[in-house]
A = this chain, B = another copy of it.
Amino acid sequence: MEAKKMGTPVIVLNMKSYAESAGRRGFELAKICEDVASKQGVNIAICPQQVELARIASLINIPCFAQHVDAVEPGSHTGFVTLESVKEAGATGTLVNHSEHRLRIADIDFIVRRAPSLNLLTIVCTNNIAVSRAVAELKPYAIAIEPPELIGSGKAVSKVEPEIVANTVEEVKKLHKDCVVLCGAGVTNGEDVQKAIELGADGVLLASGVVKAKDPKTALLDLIAGL
């Protein structure tokens, strides 16, 4: 299966392991994202729950990312997720080093280095500017800066720490000019998204603001108004 390409600016929705994104509810959420992306002509990518990746990628026509991959080649690795299995599942790429699933630096390098040969995109999460610079040296497709103290806080990094976003964009693109830079942590509405874009970000990475919203479609429409 050919992976769907991803354009920018983009909203990347991380479904995490919430009850609200498991099974049928995860599929319905994915369907909403697909509808909104198509009707509004905007870029939305989703990260389904790991066990749903192949099912959702085969049914939904927007880019799907794994939430995590393990730094192993195909082989005797029970319960691990390889880049190859993510590719075969029809995904476009994978999140790497999310704050809830940090990786060893040698493993980030392993994943980022191998992904292009499989035509997979890597979005590497970082927690500050120094780590963003370090990751930029590994040449991933994208970096998503998420100050850990703001994750799930409802206070958007683009509003309360705008200089982190602006500086990350500047520093990362100096080291790796084609790198897509996303920002996350606390992004919940269109104004937060708009501010992120103004600061130079190519998009946002978010989760609870949509997944746990009473009405995910309305939440999503509000967010894309900021693109």
A residues with a Cβ closer than 8 A to B are: 1, 14, 16-19, 22-24, 26, 47, 49-56, 58, 66-68, 72, 74-82, 84-89, 91, 95, 97-109, 113, 127-128, 130-131, 133-139, 151-152, 207-208
Contact = CB atoms under 8 A, between A and B. Distances in A.
Nearest to A208: B76
The 4 A-B pairs of least Cβ separation, nearest first, read: A68-B79, A23-B88, A67-B79, A102-B104
Given A80-B100, A97-B106, A109-B127, 4 more contacts: A17-B74, A51-B85, A78-B95, A105-B134
- Copies of this chain, tallied across the complex: 4
A131 B85 CA distance: 25
A85 B51 CA distance: 7
Nearest to A68: B79
Contacts of A102: 104-107
A202 B18 CA distance: 36
Nearest to A132: B137
A72 B79 CA distance: 16
Nearest to A26: B88
17 contacts: A17-B80, A49-B85, A50-B80, A50-B85, A52-B85, A68-B78, A68-B80, A78-B207, A103-B105, A105-B108, A105-B135, A106-B131, A109-B128, A109-B131, A130-B138, A130-B139, A134-B138
